[in-house]
Amino acid sequence: MTALHPHSTDVLKTEYQKSVASYWNNNPNDDRVNTKLGEVDGLYHHHYGIGEPDLSVLEGPEETRQERIVRELHRLETAQADLLLDQLGDVRPGDRLMDGGSGRGGTSFMANQRFGCQVDGVTISEYQVGFANEQARERGVAEKVTFHFKNMLDTGFETGSRRGIWTNETTMYVDLHELFAEFARLLEPGGRYVCITGCSNDVFGARSASVSWIDAHYGCNIHPRSEYFKALAANNLVPVAVTDLTPATIPYWELRTRSELATGVEKPFLTSYQEGSFQYLMIAADKVGR
């Protein structure tokens, strides 16, 4: 078990936050997926994939089929991160970006490679901070990409210091109004926030059994779609693009059911996406005013 940082009480302010941190510090089952996919090329993600899979990976020699599936799942997850970064707009090498809930750092490294700028990742998992900073050293980018044991609800970073911020499947662990208030503080006027998240579909009505199962599995609190737009509007974050990625992610989940790494969460994801009770959404929003 990972030992608590001496100042962890400054970062983990509630019992729930402590439990979330403990989950990501100590959960070998879900982390096994992230680890095996990350070993493909050294980019470790903590999100899911989009796009049409190459189903030829299911053909050919059986003894290498699982390896081919892993490589294809990883390609789809990297494509998701690329699509997110596409939404950040005009980012210059002198700008600073922040990855909220940065995991093992995959998207942060991709952002630095694409834009050449400073990237700060924040996560409440001390294990992830250590892993990602070691990755930064191995990649020779430690001066540009840094990971911090910080709470994204209260980062302590300077007001107006960020050109862009993103969250990639992390908002379901926090209060959206608190989160977007902090992001609005950090963003410079005209700065861009990009979010990819799963959210429950208000049109469907009450939370479905599958969405509740996902909540219970990850110890999270999936928000309704409408709550994102209420919280953005309340914090001067104005959407410029909203994309429903649900159809683009279903093939990823179908392929994942064929993997030996499947954790059992695949069925509720597929059921909830296909019945319409759960949506995979990408939102890009600009900070207006000061």
pLDDT at position 30 is: 59
Tokens at 10, concatenated: 């400054």
Tokens at 161, concatenated: 């210091």
Q: What is the pLDDT of residues 65-110, one digit of tens each?
A: 999 999 999 999 999 999 999 999 999 999 999 999 999 999 999 9
The topology under which CATH files domain 15-287 is Rossmann fold (3.40.50)
pLDDT at position 6 is: 39
Q: How far apart are the first and last CA of the chain?
A: 43
pLDDT at position 23 is: 85
Closest-CA residue to 53 (of 250, 233, 206): 250
Contact 280, 190 (CB under 8 A): no
Spatial neighbors of 124 by CB under 8 A, at least 6 apart, are: 11, 12, 17, 20, 21, 24, 149, 150, 151
pLDDT above 50 for 5: no
Give the residue extent of every domain in the chain.
Answer: 15-287
pLDDT above 90 for 233: yes
Measured between alpha carbons, how far is 125 from 3 in angstroms, rounded to an integer?
11
pLDDT at position 28 is: 53
DSSP 8-class letter at 196: E
Helices first, then strands: H and E counts in the chain:
11, 7
**How much is the mean pLDDT over the chain?**
93
* Residue where the block lists tokens 């680890």: 35
Q: What is the pLDDT of residues 17-73, one digit of tens each?
A: 999 999 888 865 557 788 888 887 889 898 999 999 999 999 989 999 999 999 999
**Angle 81-87-92 (CA atoms, 0-180°, nearest 5)?**
100
CB atoms under 10 Å from CB of 208, counted, come to: 19
**Model confidence band, residue 203 (pLDDT cutoffs 50, 70, 90):** very high
pLDDT above 80 for 226: yes
Across 112-136, average pLDDT: 96
pLDDT at position 29 is: 54
Phi and psi angles of residue 237, each rounded to the nearest 5 degrees, phi first? -110, 110
pLDDT greater at residue 25 or residue 194: 194
Measured between alpha carbons, how far is 177 from 195 in angstroms, rounded to an integer?
14
Measured between alpha carbons, how far is 195 from 156 in angstroms, rounded to an integer?
21
pLDDT at position 207 is: 87
Across 239-254, average pLDDT: 98
Closest-CA residue to 169 (of 195, 148, 207): 195
Measured between alpha carbons, how far is 199 from 281 in angstroms, rounded to an integer?
7
pLDDT above 70 for 2: no
Closest-CA residue to 69 (of 85, 83, 53): 53
